[in-house]
Amino acid sequence: NAGVMQNPRHLVRRRGQEARLRCSPMKGHSHVYWYRQLPEEGLKFMVYLQKENIIDESGMPKERFSAEFPKEGPSILRIQQVVRGDSAAYFCASSPTAPAHYGYTFGSGTRLTVV
Amino acid sequence: AQTVTQSQPEMSVQEAETVTLSCTYDTSESDYYLFWYKQPPSRQMILVIRQEAYKQQNATENRFSVNFQKAAKSFSLKISDSQLGDAAMYFCAYRTYTSGTGNQFYFGTGTSLTVIP
């Protein structure tokens, strides 16, 4: 059973470009969470999605950031017009249909570098 | 809002010795979960141990154990018989008991553990 798969592992974008980060949850998991880890910091919550629904986006920046989890396919975190401050590691986690009374299963993250 | 504080940015331990990583948190809730995650250089976040706040018994997973002091809002991780593979960044995390909105983890800033051969 493959774990949470994130790709790409590393992504380099020039300022002003778009970044698309993909996350395939574990098989049978329908809850997906995105976290951002800035250098020298812990992970910070961004958004929580279920299939075709955003449940909680309280941690998402109001502009340029969006997330989706379609009926088919991976969850996508999209960052438009990237800036240097967006450089970070972005982690996806998933959990089964029940709320995550246990720890999430995390992916290995996508390291975004904006040059 | 819930906050998680790890006051030790770096720690080191001799191989085979015991080390304790500190974590404190702030919450007004009575039911919640606490976790320790390990992040090696590969960046993978690995769950080490989990504690339910309503349980008085401290959780244990092989060489890893916690000292959970609910009144003091303290949740320290003890690693016994340290091994080279334990070298990593360790994050303490808090999660509310409820589902739906607020179903998020709050992480501390991490403690970098070095294991000395």
- Give the mean model confidence (pLDDT) for residues A10-32: 95
Cα–Cα dist B30/A24, whole Å: 34
- Give the mean model confidence (pLDDT) for residues A106-115: 95
Cβ pairs A/B, distance under 8 A = 67
Contact A108 B47 (CB under 8 A): no
pLDDT band at B100 (very low <50, low <70, confident <90, very high): low
Q: What is the pLDDT of residue B57?
A: 92
Instruction: Give percent of chain A with pLDDT exceeding 90.
Output: 70
Cα–Cα dist B108/B22, whole Å: 10
DSSP state of B41: T
Contact A56 B103 (CB under 8 A): yes
Q: Looking at chain A from residue 94 to 113, which residues have their Cβ under 8 Å from any Cβ of chain B?
A: 99-104, 106, 108-109, 111
Alpha-carbon radius of gyration of chain A: 13
Q: What is the pLDDT of residue B76?
A: 98
- Pick the closest to residue B27 from B53, B3, B52, B56 (CA basis): B3
The distance of B17 to chain A (nearest Cα, Å) reads 27
| pLDDT tens column, A35-72 | 999 987 889 999 999 988 998 898 999 999 999 999 99
Contact B91 A89 (CB under 8 A): no
What is the secondary structure of A9-31 as a DSSP string?
SEEEE-TT--EEEEEEPPTT--E
| pLDDT tens column, B46-78 | 999 999 998 889 999 999 999 999 999 999 999
Helices and strands in chain A, H and E counts: 0, 11
Instruction: Say whether pLDDT at B101 is over 70.
Output: no
Q: Which residues pair with residue B86 across a beta bridge?
A: none
Bond from prior residue into A96 cis (ω within 30 degrees of 0):
no
What is the secondary structure of A47-70 as a DSSP string?
EEEETTEEEE-TTS-SSSEEEE--
| Residue among A33, A45, A103 whose CB faces B35 most closely | A103
pLDDT band at B30 (very low <50, low <70, confident <90, very high): confident
Q: How distant is the alpha carbon of residue B21 from its chain centre?
A: 7
| Residue among A48, A102, A111 whose CB faces B104 most closely | A48
Residue B116 CB-density burial (10 A; 0-12 exposed, 13-18 middle, 19+ buried)? exposed
Is the CB of A91 inside 8 Å of chain B's CB atoms? yes
pLDDT band at A30 (very low <50, low <70, confident <90, very high): confident
| pLDDT tens column, A90-103 | 999 998 865 556 66
What is the secondary structure of B56-78 as a DSSP string?
-SPPEETTEEEEEETTTTEEEEE
| Residue among A42, A99, A101 whose CB faces B110 most closely | A42
Cα–Cα dist B22/A85, whole Å: 30
Residue of A nearest to B39 (CA): A108
Give the mean pLDDT of chain A. 91
Q: What is the pLDDT of residue A101?
A: 63
